[in-house]
Structure 1
């Protein structure tokens, strides 16, 4: 089975989201475009009615298939995830054996984390979270799904924990 971005059971609502009024954080850097990245990598993108996933990576064809009923934010995050599978040359995931399930899970975690890093520069959550009323509002402001925001926050937490443990007693 091809590797995929998000499981519908864990997907956020499919309603259209409109980013809140843009704040000065936009001036920090141009936003990451997974479409530009896919084009630069020579990947093909197609849209189809997917029922259980937002997107699929088909390595044998260098093809990313995206569900045709996604919001713009869901499409952006799903495509970024699949571009990361392509960047690593991930094979199709096989979940028929315990080892296959473990390998598939590792590929999914890596793709999520790499996509979250590209979609959300480290300074942006720190600029948005203090005034956002919820993770949903912060995700809308950052033009990502709540899932991607939570992944990025987990990465940031790990980075901070590593900094705390690397201090030399003096």
Structure 2
């Protein structure tokens, strides 16, 4: 699938910038965010990963086998690595990038609404929000407060 077709097929979600809620409009677009940061994003065949941030080159690779909603989640995670200044991937950096992506892709109102509709049915909540299970856990976790992660720079 061509990149422009992937971008056109993305769903819209609320926007956050620098960890602070900005507005419901315009929706957070990780493709646009990467573009504004000057980070090229390449969709390629990746055998062992869904996405990769290369800090030495300032580039992101995304797997070509992912559905558009999954690419959006992975790209938001990789942009999180870039914005947070990560140069390696210990578990705490992975969690921080997940949390960054979740806070940008899932508003508290969206999460509350989905939980009201689906109760504890995690697959239904994930499907409605069009996010990965990892991002849903990061959004819903009581163990991570939004102010724990700050952009470097």
TM-score over 0.5 (shorter chain)? yes
TM-score normalised to structure 1 length: 0.66
Q: 1:29 pairs with 24, 29, 32, which one? A: 24
Shift in Å at residue 56 of structure 1? 0.1
- Partner SS for 1:61: coil
Question: How far apart, in 1, do the equivalents of 2:81 and 2:127 lie?
Answer: 25
- CA 159–58 in structure 1, closer or farther in 2 if over 3 Å, else same: closer
Alignment check: 8 A CA contact 1:34 1:83 kept: yes
Alignment check: 8 A CA contact 2:34 2:40 kept: yes
Could you say which structure has the larger radius of gyration? 1
Q: Where does residue 66 of structure 1 map in the other structure?
A: 62
Question: How far apart, in 1, do the equivalents of 2:135 and 2:95 lie?
Answer: 11
Question: How far apart, in 2, do the equivalents of 1:138 and 1:87 lie?
Answer: 27
Residue by residue over 1:101-125, the C-alpha shift from the partner in whole angstroms, topping out at 9 and shown as x without a partner, is: xxx1121111111111111112211
Alignment check: 8 A CA contact 1:32 1:118 kept: yes
Q: Where does residue 137 of structure 1 map in the other structure?
A: 124
Shift in Å at residue 146 of structure 1? 2.2
Alignment check: 8 A CA contact 2:44 2:64 kept: yes
Q: Where does residue 94 of structure 2 map in the other structure?
A: 108
Higher relative contact order (CA 8 A, sep 6+): 1
Note if 1:81 corresponds to 2:77. Answer: yes
RMSD between aligned alpha carbons? 2.5
Note if 1:41 corresponds to 2:37. Answer: yes
- CA 70–29 in structure 1, closer or farther in 2 if over 3 Å, else same: same
Q: Which structure 2 segments of 5+ residues have no match?
A: 1-10, 15-22, 146-153
Note if 1:146 corresponds to 2:133. Answer: yes
Alignment length (residue pairs): 126
Shift in Å at residue 47 of structure 1? 1.2
Shift in Å at residue 159 of structure 1? 7.0
